Structure 1
Amino acid sequence: MNFHNAPVTYVDHVALKVQDISRSLTFYQQVLGFQVMSRTPAKAFLTADGENVLLTIEQPDQTTPKQAGTTGLYHIALLLPARADLSAFVRHLDSLGIHFGAADHLVSEAIYLPDPDGNGIEVYIDRDPSSWLWNDGSVAMTTDPLSFTSLLAEPTRSWEGLPEDTVMGHIHLHVSDLGRAEQFYCQGLGFNLVNRFGAEALFLSDRNYHHHIAVNTWAGKGAPAPSATSAGLLSFSIRYPDERTRQEVICQLEAIGAPVVEDEAMYMTQDPSGNAIQLVLD
């Protein structure tokens, strides 16, 4: 099943604040392999296929360094279409001398690295969903060492930038309180809790994906929101399959007391930790 198309509800776009847009564009083009769809002096719209914007980077006036110990972005996660693409990406990073982290999560294989502002980035591939282990609505995930021997045994191909079928696979957020986050993302936005990682992280999805959104308290329980000028997350977009579903979600958000603002048919909300969210249509 394709977990990033209708009728699935999923994250399809993230907007980030950066301190130096020229520095960031060099990274996102040369290291990650994005294309620039369009840009202004202070904003750039990045794409993998030339048609869909996956990431927007923006340099507001007087942006300050990303604040540690606050809510906001833990990482964005770019989902590649094939394991050979991840293998090519690893070879590409090695050729550039870039240090990175890696993990096998049972459901996926992942590479981790920061952008120049310290925004976390995951680049990953999914294992076949038929191999995911489910038990009473919970999917098994872990963090094991990645087998580079196996990954690099994939047929060798050159890295020519993000494949056009790359999507925003998920987003992982720092929040201040897991209980309030669970109510907001499940009762409000309509996602299902598919993994409770101890008392510090939740994984949420639609239609049995391993996760479209994850939240954690690793920045500290009760962590404050970052300052308005801090580099980091500006907003992210959740795409609903139709207007009926979106209106149901808006009613659910209002029922739990979450803010919903409409501006020219664009609906915005904010989770209890201050993370801004656009509710968009397929």
Structure 2
Amino acid sequence: MADRSFEVSRLPGFAFTAVTVFLALYLPIFTLVFFSFNAGSVLSVWQGWSLRWYVEAWQNDVVKGAAMRSLLIAASASAIATTLATMAAIGTTRRRRFRGQTAIYAFINQPLMVPEIVTAVALLIFFGVIKSWTGYQGLGYLILAHSAFCVPFAYLPIRARLEGMDLSLETAAADLYASPWQAFRHVTLPLLAPGIAAGAMLAFVISLDDVVITEFVKSAGQDTLPTYMLGQLRRTLTPEVNAISTALLVLTVLLLTAFFLVNRKKD
């Protein structure tokens, strides 16, 4: 008897649709990478192969300052967001279901559903009041803003990891006279580590790439790499922007690849 099981890949036009979608997604990116090796000064007119714009970006002190600032903010925000997300995930999953649990899930993940511009304006007003009270204008505001925005992104993989762990593991450790801290340190944390690493990397990428919240919260002289590139749109664009974008793309791909490898379930 012939196998009549349904397979999407056998539908008419599936291959054409798949190729079209992938071209729409990745052709602009490949074009960006290609023109980052352009020898000429025009953004999208090919004039030969060269590493000129990578060298110029590397020697540009403003670009290096923005890049280091971006990495500092992303690393700090990732650490804070991952710590908060881990505590929230443990508090909402390593126990029996309770009244209001679904509402808490929705509350934690709400920033994912709210338009980012709304979050940015709210943070602008909130930190504006604090700035007027304290006079402090440092990077702390950007770090806190990115941390708040990244918490739900870190929370999702950590919660998913915890939900795949049997709740009886801590109970068994307690039966063997382990204290709550010992059970967490020797049982929960080692099993949870891949989820924490995945959440941290995801939060890092989200923070590194953020433009809207950064643009609203930052003070003068606090440009990150994405906001620096946005500012270049108001000036004469050169293939240096392509080179910087390609470097960010490579970093993001490496982090997302690590995210996939860490979060992949073992056979």
TM-score by length of 2: 0.23
Structure 1 or 2: larger strand share?
Answer: 1
TM-score by length of 1: 0.22
Q: Which of 1 and 2 has higher RCO (CA within 8 Å, sep 6+)?
A: 2
